[in-house]
Amino acid sequence: MSEKFLIGTYTKKASQGIYGVTLNHETKQLSPVWVVAQSQKPAYLQTNGTTIFSVKQDGEQGGVATYTIDGDQATLVDTNLSVVAPPAYVAVDEQRHLLYSANYHAGTVTVYQINADLTLTQTDEVKHDGVTGPKPEQDKPHAHYADLTPDGRLVVCDLGLDLTVVYDVSADGKLTFVSNYHHEAGFGTRHLTFSPDGKVAYVLGELGSQLDVLNYDQATGTFTHQQSISTIPADWTAHNGAAAIHITKDGKFIYTTNRGENTIAVFAVQADHSVKHIQSISTEGDFPRDFDLSQDEAFLVASNQESDNLTLYTRDAVTGLLTMVQKDVACPEPVCVKQW
């Protein structure tokens, strides 16, 4: 059995855009990467197998783009750009045929209609404002994530404001504010994931290297605090920035990356949805920005942005523990990993 992953990249050095890599389950090896589509700074992307929705830059303009997939290649269909740095995150709403983007530099969340021909039409945009956190990176609002809650709302992580924000979404792509949750000052809200039952959000703080466990009330669209836990050892004093977070389909294990300590931290989910740290394993590279699990969750593919390499692990479904099986898979500036 084999499966493919898409790799989004920065294009500051040698990268040409979006790459692909094949995982062979029998040999437990990744193939050499190849260029799927040439593009400037496709740093984050999503795919449904036939279409790629990606961050896009073109000179001084930034925004989003759609691509159709044909075999091992993809062809650009449409872009929606403006005079702003490209966003940090994109998410697809298949039910309402919408695309969401979170723009770190502009502090905005933008909604696009995905038309039948895969062109994009902007339907709404909200700009965050408020009291920023105490750390140097929190100079202004920085929307870093915008994706769906289990009940179909939009949840946004704002690193600059230490906020997790919830919006209602109308059928025609309009946002209405519902609530916000204010994390500890300096938390630096980056990404989150929900438990399979939709009752708990696990929110990752980049600047605090911390994981917050929040109870989610679907009736009101609000969060309440349950637990906070560090993603790094207590004696780690050098710089670190938590980056990516994923939960297994059975809801039993959570994985996060640490850029600085250069590890994947593994947490076991307890009966009350709280978490317990059970492993930290080297990513065999520098600045692990993202990772993804294979379809059967027996493997994990991690990307190391600064050392230009991918690392492959096997995963024990019972214990949740990772074992490194391949490192130094060359890939230029990898910053996003997605099942293809």
Percent of the chain with pLDDT over 90: 100
Domain boundaries, the chain: 2-339
Per-residue CA distances from 41 to 107, 282, 300, 329 (Å): 19, 27, 24, 21
Q: With b meaning 16 or more CB within 10 Å and e meaning fewer, what string describes 232-268?
A: beeebeeebbbbbbbbbeeebbbbbbbbbbbbbbbbb
- pTM to 2 decimal places: 0.98
pLDDT per position as a tens digit, 203-229: 999 999 999 999 999 999 999 999 999
Separation between Cα atoms, residue 205 and residue 52, nearest integer Å: 28
2-339 CATH choice from 2.40.30.10, 3.40.50.720, 3.40.50.970, 2.130.10.10: 2.130.10.10
Looking at residue 328, its pLDDT comes to 95
pLDDT per position as a tens digit, 80-133: 999 999 999 999 999 999 999 999 999 999 999 999 999 999 999 999 999 999
**Phi, psi dihedral angles at 325 (to 5 degrees):** -120, -15
Q: How far does the chain reach from its first CA to its final CA, in angstroms?
A: 14
Provide DSSP, 239-275.
Answer: --EEEEEEE-TTS-EEEEEEETTTEEEEEEE-TTS-E
Looking at residue 11, its pLDDT comes to 98
Tabulate helix, strand, coil % of the chain (nearest 5).
0, 60, 40
Average pLDDT value for residue range 66-70 = 98
Separation between Cα atoms, residue 91 and residue 319, nearest integer Å: 31
Average pLDDT value for residue range 185-191 = 98
**Cβ neighbours of residue 237 closer than 8 Å, sequence gap 6 or more:** none
Beta partners for 76?
67
Looking at residue 18, its pLDDT comes to 98
> Are the C-beta atoms of residues 258 and 288 closer than 8 Å to each other?
yes
pLDDT per position as a tens digit, 131-158: 999 999 999 999 999 999 999 999 999 9
Percent of the chain with pLDDT over 70: 100
Separation between Cα atoms, residue 99 and residue 110, nearest integer Å: 8
Looking at residue 131, its pLDDT comes to 97
pLDDT per position as a tens digit, 247-286: 999 999 999 999 999 999 999 999 999 999 999 999 999 9
pLDDT per position as a tens digit, 294-328: 999 999 999 999 999 999 999 999 999 999 999 99
Six-digit token string for 304: 């190391």
> Are the C-beta atoms of residues 173 and 228 closer than 8 Å to each other?
no
Beta partners for 285?
none
**Cβ neighbours of residue 19 closer than 8 Å, sequence gap 6 or more:** 6, 7, 9, 33, 34, 35, 36, 331, 332, 334
